[in-house]
Structures are given as structure tokens and as C-alpha cells.
Structure 1
């Protein structure tokens, strides 16, 4: 057990909200002791803003305390009771408040679900994952607002250190999800994981296999949404967790050299891209796209004597790998996944329209294919510039300014973004008095291709004229309204 640090500190100012007064009153009426513990206390001391999740520990029944609090609140919020875990939850003042009876836990080797017994506040603090999450503020009349800090969590907050209250090997082996949580907190807070703790994560990394994919993914999301995700992913890699969770990423590591020709390390490059994109977007799925944009390079890597290393078709292969990865990690297989696939597939397209002699049709096709995600694609491509050479960095960014300007000029003239054909399928069928058939699709495709190639403007009159011409070639006859 960590040596107790006797810090005489009162944080009653943290407990000014009405909800704490109500919990304190309920505590007194039930003749219990209760405490705010965990993230609320940690984030208040770190001045990280207003917490929306509050954990209350009662030395006694947490369920009874929750029910009493609900009775005392004017709107009598519904209490969700989880008898198996001895916990209860209610929502008040736009906050989720969870109540649990103080407890001690023991674990079986093949499960992270503990055997729970009633315990003291000290028992409850012992079971917490990190010293900074074991901090508790009293809600009792005799010492309201006093900080209880048996493991030196306050000192660890000041030192920006992630440390476990008990022996780290025991903490991580009991509940392997804590390994991911340690790395997530290090990434979110920009803290350092104590060496002894980091070594224990590496030693027990295979235990992560008993954690559900949903819980793993939840932690990955939080790491990706931190200010500098590379810190978290580098720690996942260092502790060998990443190879189990995302082997597609670790497969990118390393630099091969044949006949003096080398390629860049695509793993560390990827982490730089994720950091770059995180400066410009909070979109979780665009950050996932940055993390996965090069995963097709490992299976497509080849060496050719004349041209060196190639990764032909890595964008297409990578986009196909996204589906399998999302499915394995139990992530949504909906429009969010499709955005990531689309970004991976198109990640190299904008650079192809930089050259001075590129045609407007190539720009139109880029805008058309990207559709409503064209801005997302440009953000990803600009984040992909990781060169440390100032001249090249400036050149590449200037190239993308040229691409943006070309797209602006073409879009203002041709209105290709969110393209809708000037002539609908209904109009084609009505004009030629036909039912849905292959010919309707042929005419629609001909009109789309003509507009993208610049053969006709994106206008109804020109598109209708082409419709009539192509229909005639297909043996269709225009039916006049009089007919």
C-alpha cells in the first residue's frame, strides 16, 4: 500500500451545487457516511471544467441512499437499481449520479467481474484503479468537503503521474481494462505512467483478451479524441497491447532496405498524421480515417529493381480492411464506417490534381466522388504531410492550396458538389413513355459522364438535348404531350 500523505485540505467550494447538499441531507437522515469519489474530485482539482458524471460512495447501502436522494429532490427522478452490483443511478440537474455501497473486491483469473463484499471506505479506495481516482470528498456534516487521500493522489496530480494504489501487477491482472484506462488517462491528461506500472502493463498485456471488444473500443475512442492521440497509441505499442488490438497498425512498423532503397516507417508516420488532423477536427470518425489511412500498405508492399518500393492499390485494399476491422471491434457498420472507408479509398486522390496540366474533368470527378465529404478529404490529405524538410512542407501545403482553388473555380462554374442530374429518371421515362429499364440507366450515366468530362454544362436544357440524342441511338422514340 502506498504511504499515506497527511494533507489537511478542504474543498467545500467543490460541493456548492444543490445536488451535494441534498445528498448530504439524505446521508444524515439515513445515518450513513457518504463521499464523492473519483473523476469529479480529480477534475475539480485539475480545473478541467464541470463534470457530468458523479460517483457517490456510501458506507452502507448505496441503493437506499439513491432512493432517499430521489425523495428529497423536487422532481423525484427515477432511480435505476442494479441489485447484482449493489449500485443505483439517477439523473438530476443534467448530471448522471451513481451510488454504490463501499465494498471490497476479489477476482477470478478468467474474468474481470469481481466477487463483491461490503466494506469500508478504505476498502473502496483500495479497489480504485489509480491514486488520482481514489481521492474522495466528504459529504458528512462533521467534515464536509474534507479531502481523503490515503495514497498520495493529490501529490500524483501535481506530479502528473499515473500510479496504482496497490501493487500494479495485481491491479492490472484483476481488471485488465485498467491497462487501457491508464494509457487513456496518460493521453488525455498528458501524464506519465509510473515505470513500475508501465512494466506491469507490458507483463500482463495478454490479459486484455478477456475484455469485451465494446469496452476496448470505448477506450480507443477516448484516446483518439485526446489532444495528442499519438501519445496513447505509442504507449499501446510499447506495452504490446496494440499488436493484440490493432495488428493492422503494428504491421506498418519498420523500414526495409534493398539495394540501398528504403521506404518510410508508415506506423510512426500514421501517428503523426493523427496528431496533425487532431489540430483541425474533433470528428472521431475522421480521426479514425487518419489512423487507418495507410493500413493497406503492409499487404501491398513490393520492391521493384527499377522503381524501388511500391504500395500499388493500398488505398483500395485498406478501404476493404476497414470493414473487417470495424466488425472485429464491434464498431458501427453504418455511415460512420462508410465515411472512414471513403476517406481511406480517396486519401491519395487530391494530390493527383496538383499538376498545372491537369484537366478540369479530373477536378470535377474528385469533387463528384468525394461529394459532401470533400472538405473532410482535404483535411485528411493536408494532415498527411509529415515531412520535416521546411521547403518540402511549404511546397506540399502550397500544392493543396492550388487544389482548393481549382476545386473552388470548377464548383462555382459547374456545381458538381452534391451532384443531382439535371434530368431525372422520371423525366426520361415520361419522355419516351417507357417503364424502369436498362435504357434509363444508360441515358442517366451518359448525361453524368458528359457533365463530368465538360462536354455539356450542368444545365437542364443541355442535358435534355443529350437525353433525346442518346435515346434516339437506343431506338427510343420521343412521345409528344399531345400523344
Structure 2
């Protein structure tokens, strides 16, 4: 039974029982750890509800076991034990445990077990909201009608749990999500991005993203997407973006010969735990610049020239100010969007030159794997789904990358100090452009000495390239 494993996990923490569950005070395990134990999932941390004051209880426990006490909001405290184990405590005050459970977000998170019962193998679950029934039926249901109003981040948490657990959000809850969708505007950006990244971590998050679109929560979070959905009747850009996300997730979990060639590089690319959700978010937003770049030629063909560059510009304030993402996260997403058309353009070239391939890797840096995956998914989700050019491109790029890695990096003929000392240039972004050009000429055998490199730079400056 799940509760047996929960007891084992609790005992494995090494915290003495007499400190954790004194006989004279009622202490309850609640929420996610009960849910995950019953589902046989890995238990990440433990949430407790105690009689009287939660913050006093947590502070006293931290002192007894040598843990670190962290005060949280209101009457809530946290104990961090042996650096990684997290135990959160909230107080009941004058309320009963059933009152606390009825104040929670979803029925599957509104169950509790009294700690003394658990430790003495009395398998009794307090379940006033029928959470076990919904757990068995794989359903996400709000505890009460005003659940979403009490904490609007729950609008996203509904989709997060559906995504993580592969559950279905029941009809009345979906209606409530649509009714209260505007409340998400008042939620802090950090909380929104945290939930979004958790949603996108799952292998088939496109389903929840699509449902977020159905209840208009997606366009409430990103009003820019509304323009994509209403631009032209025959061009369903938002539908295409969600389809691109679906195809990307298929690529990440499935097998394609050309994509398999990326696997040796994908392992290091996805080593950063946020890489996958960031790539997915970039895929969802990759065409955000299209509504403002719409044009048509004399034959009536529609074009979106420059939508990749405009998309990068539009995304900066969205990611940084609205979602409060880190600089590294913003850089990753905007670079993917800025260059998502490059593979399509290179794939149409009759001959792929070494210089073009070097430029590709120099511009993308570590995001080269991600942009190839994004472009491939983008092509699969297009009207004809033709990826033949991209398959050939990936093969050539990977072979070039492998050969380049074998040769190792060339020793630079000049560096920034030479540009300052020899040419009296002021340090700035121009240095990178100059040094990359010199390296390209060096790799092609056109520049072999320091003097030749400096002469190349002088010529570049004379022609206004620097």
C-alpha cells in the first residue's frame, strides 16, 4: 500500500519519531506527499499541518534536529534537514484539519494522514473532499467554487497536475478556469514561469497547452498570441505553433534517423534541467513576430519577412518583465527564436559551404541543437510537412561538427589586446565580429600569420565592416 512506503520514506529521513510526532500533539501529513504515495510516485518533500502554531513547531524541530529553519508566510515554517530534505509546517490555529483540507486547491491534494496513525501502521486517510475517488478516476477537480479565486496561480496548477500525472480536468473545473482566467494577470511573474516550466517538463504538454487555449488562459498570459489566432482566416498561426510543440515532443520521445544523429550532442544540451521547457516555450512562441510582418507579393502570396528578428525583440520584455525569467533563460529562448529560420534557409542552399556552417555554429553556440529540433518540428507542423531538406542539413552539420571537434580549435593569431594595442580600437561588440572573421579566414588558409591577420582587420575597417 502507498502509505506503507510513505512511512518508510519518512523513517528514512533519519529524524527521530519523538521529535517529529510528539504524542501530546496532533501532527498530520497532507497534500502532495499523500497523493504521490498513493500513486506510487517519488516523494519529493513532506508537508505537515500541526495543532496551534506551525512556525513555532518548525523552529523547535529545526533546533532539536540541527536543521535550518526558514520562516514562510503567515503561520508557516520550513525545516531544511541535511541540506536537501524539505519539511514544511503550517498551523491549524483554532481550526480543524477538515477545514484546512477544504481550503486546498484540488481534491487529490486535499487528503491527510495523522502522523501517529502512520507510524503505528494504522492506515487511515482523512478524505473529506473525495480525493481518493478522483485519484482513482484520474481527474483534476477543484475543492470548492472559490478555490481559484483564493489563489489564482491555481489556474496554472490545474494544468500542471494534469500534465504531470496525465489526468483529465473535469468539466466544471474547466468552466471555472475559463470564468476566472483574467485573475492570472495579478499573479507574480516568478510564480507563473515556475508553473509553466513544470507544465512543459512533461512529455506531452502540448495537450495541456491546447486546453489552456480552449479556456482562453493562453492568450490571457500572452495577449500577443491572440493576434496570431485572428490574423487571417486561412492562416492559423496559433494552431500551427501548438502543432509545432506537439511535433517537438514527438521528436524528443520518439525516433527519427536524422534526429538520432543529434543524440550524442543532445545529452549535453539537455543537461541543464530547464533546457527542455525553455525549448518548448520558444517553439510555442517562435512565430510571435508574424502578425506585425505580414505582407503579400503581386501574386498574392503571403510573406512574413523579418518575423524571426522582430520575434526576438518582442520576446525580451515578455520573458524578462512579465515572466521574470533569468538572463540565461531569456538569452536561450530569444536566440532560438531569432535563428529558427536559419536551418530552413540553409536547407534550401544548393551547396552548404564550410563558412556557412561555421557561421551557424558561431551564431547559435550551444543552442544549435535546439534550433535544429525547433526547425524540424516547425516543418513537420507545416502544411506539407516536408523535412527532406532539413534531414540532409542535419547530416551535413553533424558531420562537420564531428570533424571540427576532432581537429580541435585553432590557435588564434590575434586577440583583443592586439586590436587595442596595434590598431587602437575601443573594446566592444565589434571585437567578436572581427575575431570571428579572422578565424574564418584562418581556417580557410587565407590568413596564416599575425601580420596577415592585422592587415585583414585594417581592410575590414577601411571597408566599414568593423
Fold match (TM-score > 0.5): yes
3-state SS of 2:228 partner: coil
Aligned to 1:267: 238
Q: 1:437 aligns with which of 425, 432, 457?
A: 425
Change in CA separation of 1:23 and 1:242 when aligned onto 2, cut-off 3 Å: farther
1:216: Cα distance to partner? 1.8
Change in CA separation of 1:429 and 1:267 when aligned onto 2, cut-off 3 Å: closer
1:38: Cα distance to partner? 0.5
Would you say the 8 A contact 1:237–1:250 is kept in 2?
A: no
Would you say the 8 A contact 2:204–2:249 is kept in 1?
A: yes
Q: Distance in 1 between matches of 2:228 and 2:3?
A: 48
Gaps of 5+ in 1: 1-8, 104-117, 477-483
1:151 lines up with 2:129 in the alignment: yes
Aligned to 1:210: 186
Change in CA separation of 1:253 and 1:466 when aligned onto 2, cut-off 3 Å: same
Change in CA separation of 1:196 and 1:444 when aligned onto 2, cut-off 3 Å: closer
Q: Distance in 1 between matches of 2:413 and 2:49?
A: 66
Q: 2:76 aligns with which of 87, 90, 99?
A: 87
Aligned to 2:389: 399
Change in CA separation of 1:39 and 1:245 when aligned onto 2, cut-off 3 Å: same
Mapping of residues 95-134 of structure 1, within 5 Å: 95-102=85-92, 118-134=94-110
1:42 lines up with 2:35 in the alignment: yes
Aligned to 2:330: 337
Aligned to 2:6: 14
Change in CA separation of 1:62 and 1:367 when aligned onto 2, cut-off 3 Å: closer
Q: 2:162 aligns with which of 186, 195, 198?
A: 186
Q: Distance in 2 between matches of 1:438 and 1:418?
A: 30
1:461: Cα distance to partner? 5.9
Q: Distance in 2 between matches of 1:158 and 1:183?
A: 18
Mapping of residues 163-312 of structure 1, within 5 Å: 163-166=141-144, 168=145, 170-254=146-230, 256=232, 262-263=234-235, 265-279=236-250, 280=252, 283-312=276-305
1:72: Cα distance to partner? 4.8
Alpha-carbon RMSD across the aligned residues, in angstroms, is 3.6
Larger Rg: 1
Would you say the 8 A contact 1:414–1:458 is kept in 2?
A: no
Q: Distance in 1 between matches of 2:59 and 2:123?
A: 23
Deviations 1:391-427 (A, max 9, x none): x54x51x422311232245456667999777321368
- Size of the aligned set, in residue pairs, is 435
TM-score normalised per structure 2: 0.81
Change in CA separation of 1:165 and 1:312 when aligned onto 2, cut-off 3 Å: same
Q: Distance in 2 between matches of 1:223 and 1:177?
A: 13
3-state SS of 1:35 partner: strand
Q: Distance in 2 between matches of 1:227 and 1:379?
A: 15
3-state SS of 2:448 partner: helix
Q: Distance in 2 between matches of 1:161 and 1:36?
A: 22
Q: Distance in 2 between matches of 1:300 and 1:427?
A: 42
Q: Distance in 1 between matches of 2:109 and 2:5?
A: 19
Change in CA separation of 1:440 and 1:421 when aligned onto 2, cut-off 3 Å: farther
Q: 2:343 aligns with which of 346, 350, 362?
A: 350
Q: Distance in 2 between matches of 1:442 and 1:71?
A: 56
3-state SS of 1:385 partner: helix
Would you say the 8 A contact 1:36–1:56 is kept in 2?
A: yes
1:287: Cα distance to partner? 2.1
Aligned to 2:49: 57
1:457 lines up with 2:447 in the alignment: no
1:448: Cα distance to partner? 4.5
1:194: Cα distance to partner? 1.7
Would you say the 8 A contact 1:162–1:192 is kept in 2?
A: yes
